[in-house]
Amino acid sequence: MPATISDLLQDKAKPVTAKSGEPLKEALARMIEHDYSQLPVVDNDQKPVAMLTADSSTRALNFFEVAPGKLRVLDAMEERIETCMEDDDLLDVLGGLRRSPALLVVDSQKALIGIVTSYDTTEYFRLRAQDIMLVQDVEETVKDYVLAAFRGKEGIFDKAALQAAIEEITPSNETELRGAFRKALILYLELCGDTGKEPKESSGKKTPLNDMHATKAFKEHIYQKDPVQAFDKLTLNEYIVLLLHKSRWKRYQPVFQMDPEPLRRMLNPVRETRNDLAHFRSDISEKQRVELRQCRDWLSRHGDAIEAAFSTGGSAVSEENADVVEIPTAAQPTDAQPPTTPPTPQTATAEFAQVSESPYVGSAKRPEESRYAPLAAWLDNQPVDKDQVIVTFREIEQMIGGDLPTSAREHRAWWGNNAKGHAQSRQWLETGWQVSSVSMRGERVTFARSRQQRYEKFFSALLDDLKKAAPFSIQAPPPSGLTWLTISTLPEAGTKIAFVAVAFSRNHRLRVELYLDTGDQSGTKRIFDALQNKKEEIETELGEPIHWERLDDKRASRVALYYPGSITDNDEQLKALRSRAVAATIRFRPVIAEHLNRALREAETS
């Protein structure tokens, strides 16, 4: 619920008042003693009747042309007052402060119990904004640390692997209902006179419950999963889950030197405090505020160690799965990026000195431009093959010709990639750069060039070419800047268990592929084996060899054509690569779709 007037009265002293019949000089002396600019005027029952202000006193002295000792409060007070009660919503009564220098808080008997000024409301919202900034500092730092584990080649994030990780933590009803569904099927078979029970002893007897068919029935009629959100749309709780996930914690543990549970216990109260602040449930206590600062500072303390630990650049899945990410349902193809070593602060400093001689940096900006426009110009002037730069706070101050605001050094949230209402981030985002990481203690920021626009441009053109030339229906969603594009799902009728896609792969390769995932590892491998048994026939129809990737330790399998090429190629090379991918897709999709249909029919009759 919104804040109330009582929230502003906490820890405030009893209001200092004046009486209408007392000398003005005495009332002014109390105002000076307490450093107030106004005093409520009350009657004998402590009910407010007027307001004495510094302005009204000056006007009275000027009007009567006498000394303060010659006037009473009655001669200088203003009878126009604004009152409210303790339980009034703060937002409902703020208008009164536009009409009066203070709100007089009264009880049910109309007696004065407090006073609220513009300073009080400003301080209240300033403190609340500061609390929110602390929470944002924690959230942005947690996001930084999560993304560090998905940093691929040259500091570019492996978006496909990140999306797969997000999908893994997205809630579904499978855990809750899958076991009950299986028991229901077994009971059904028993009632029909069949023995749906698993043999109690290893007798070699097979259960009549077909796991592949049961999985298909569950996925098609019962399975539900919440929509998978983009990384920046996740909640703080989901960022915490990603950070502490068991599949990646072994990479964080050497930095934090603790198990994930103590860290979870530290972060969960921050999440609860964030919810309280976001929904105006209540003011947070000083203890909560201290805990927020401690959490923020503790996380910030590990920033350089995180940067060093992940500076080899490898994807979060590279240690166990360098080419495919395990996902719970049939999903998009993924690829981890090869490791690399990002620039060091020393090399970035040298490059800053060179680039700073360009006409963009230090040149006069138009009066209407943001003070951060020189930073945007410097980023825009970076060589096209440079995807990451590290620059110090001091070097940015040299570019913009002035000091950064205090918040830039105190709050990680100041460096957030949020263009709405943030002049600084709007500047770098509009030039195609984003903040990759920030060392608050080292006072340096890493900017990474976003290749999203290049991927969107490539796949948009590929999609247009396919729609014009392909003899089959294209079911692709609009390109979203990821490293792959789904062309269609297969089979055309029934439950979808595969995608035909075009994806940029590791080692400067593009692939046209069938990404196969029935939701059940054994079922996927059976379908894959059936396809591979027709290897010669399929490759003869296509006119070129295929890469058959069974991926025995994963649930999914892949059948793919590979071609040399990278998104960093020049426009002419990318145009040729796109033409080759279009031609390959037009050949590949009908052939592989027909053979997949045959394999599924054979699996159902076996």
Radius of gyration of the chain (CA): 33
pLDDT score, position 156: 60
Q: Which of 309, 336, 359 is the last residue of a domain?
A: 309
- Whether omega for the bond prior to residue 479 falls within 30 degrees of 0, making it cis, is no
Residue 289 maps to a domain = yes
435, 440, 443, 449 alpha-carbon torsion, rounded to 10°: -10
**What's the domain count of the chain?**
4
Higher per-residue confidence, 341 vs 191: 191
Segment 270-276 mean pLDDT? 86
What's the pLDDT tens digit per position in 228-237?
A: 888 888 999 9
| Judgement on whether residues 516 and 550 belong to the same structural domain of the protein | yes
CA 128 to CA 280: how far, in whole Å? Answer: 10
pLDDT at position 327: 27
Q: What is the pTM of this model?
A: 0.56
In a domain, 361, yes or no: yes
Q: What's the pLDDT at 9?
A: 87
149 and 92 fall within a common domain: no
Mean of all residue pLDDT scores within the chain? 82
Tokens 């590791």: give the residue: 506
Q: What is the pLDDT of residue 541?
A: 95
Report pLDDT for 405: 94
Rounded to the nearest angstrom, the gap between the alpha carbon of residue 459 and the centroid of all alpha carbons in its chain is 25
Closest alpha carbon to 438 in 416, 405, 467 = 416
What pLDDT digit, counting tens, does each position of 1-30 carry?
467 888 888 878 899 999 999 999 999 999
What is the torsional sign of CA 407, 409, 413, 418?
positive
Percent of the chain with pLDDT over 70: 84
Residues 422 and 287 in one domain: no
Q: Which of 254, 283, 309 is the last residue of a domain?
A: 309
Residue 600 has, within 13 A of its CA and on its CB side, a CA count of: 20
For residue 462, pLDDT over 90 is answered with yes
Mean pLDDT for the stretch of residues 155-168: 80
> Which range is least confidently modeled, 205-219, 298-312, 475-489, 559-573?
205-219
How much is the average pLDDT of 114-129? 89
Domain ends where: 389, 418, 450?
A: 450
pLDDT band, residue 368 (cuts 50/70/90): low
User: In the predicted model, is pLDDT for residue 208 greater than 80?
Assistant: no
In terms of domains, do 401 and 253 share one?
A: no
Higher pLDDT, 344 or 73: 73
| 158/284 same-domain check | yes
* Mean pLDDT of the 313-333 span: 34
231 Ramachandran zone, left/alpha/beta (phi>0; psi -120 to 50): alpha
Residue-number span of the structural domain to which 485 is assigned? 456-605
* CA 536 from centroid of its chain's CA atoms: 47
420 and 382 in one domain? Answer: yes
Query: In this structure, is residue 318 part of a structural domain?
Result: no
Closest of 500, 512, 506, 480 to residue 567, by C-alpha:
506
Of 93-107, 117-131, 474-488, least confident by mean pLDDT is 474-488
Region 574-580: mean pLDDT is: 96
Contact of 252 with 145, CB cutoff 8 Å = yes
Q: Kindly state whether residue 336 falls inside one of the protein's structural domains.
A: no
| Highest mean pLDDT out of 16-25, 166-175, 440-449, 454-463 | 16-25
Reported as a single tens digit per residue, the pLDDT across 375-401 is 988 988 888 667 789 999 999 999 999
Q: Is the pLDDT of residue 205 over 70?
A: no
Residues 464 and 581 in one domain: yes
Question: The tokens of 483 are what?
Answer: 């490293």
CB neighbours of 444 closer than 8 A, spacing ≥ 6?
A: 345, 348, 390, 391, 392, 393, 438
In a domain, 64, yes or no: yes
CA distance 165 to 180: 27
* Angle, CA 540 vertex, CA 539 and CA 541 arms, to 5°: 90
**425 and 521 housed in the same domain:** no
- 280 phi-psi bin (left φ>0, alpha ψ -120 to 50, beta other): left
Q: Would you state the pLDDT for residue 575?
A: 95
User: Is 505 a residue whose pLDDT tops 70?
Assistant: yes
pLDDT at 554: 87
Q: Are residues 436 and 460 in the same domain?
A: no
Task: Render the burial of 554-576: b for 16+ CB within 10 Å, e for the rest.
Answer: bbbbbbbbbeebebbbeeeebee
CATH number, domain with residue 515? 3.30.1460
Same domain, 150 and 261: yes
**Token digits for 225?**
């999963």
Residues 144 and 281 occupy one common structural domain:
yes
Terminal C-alpha separation, the chain:
62
Contacts with 1 (C-beta within 8 Å, 6 or more apart), sequence order: 89, 279, 280, 281
In this prediction, residue 281 carries a pLDDT of 58
pLDDT in tens, 140-151: 999 999 988 987
pLDDT at 415: 93
- Residues, the chain: 606
Domain assignment of residue 325, yes or no: no
Q: What is the DSSP string of 500-548?
A: EEEEEETTTEEEEEEEE--SSHHHHHHHHHHHHTTHHHHHHHHTS--EE
Indicate if the pLDDT at residue 119 is higher than 60. yes
Alpha-carbon distance 240 to 135, whole Å? 13
Residues 97 and 135 occupy one common structural domain: no
pLDDT, tens digit, 9 for 90 and up, residues 386-441: 778 999 999 999 999 999 999 999 999 899 888 676 889 888 887 778 888 898 98
The per-residue pLDDT for 350 is 37
Averaged pLDDT for residues 450-462 = 84
Question: What is the CATH number for 67?
Answer: 3.10.580.10
Residue 153, pLDDT score: 54
Residue 338 maps to a domain: no
Strands (E), 417-464: 433-439, 444-449
- Sheet containing 388-392: order of strands: 388-392, 444-449, 433-439
Is 205 contained in some domain?
no
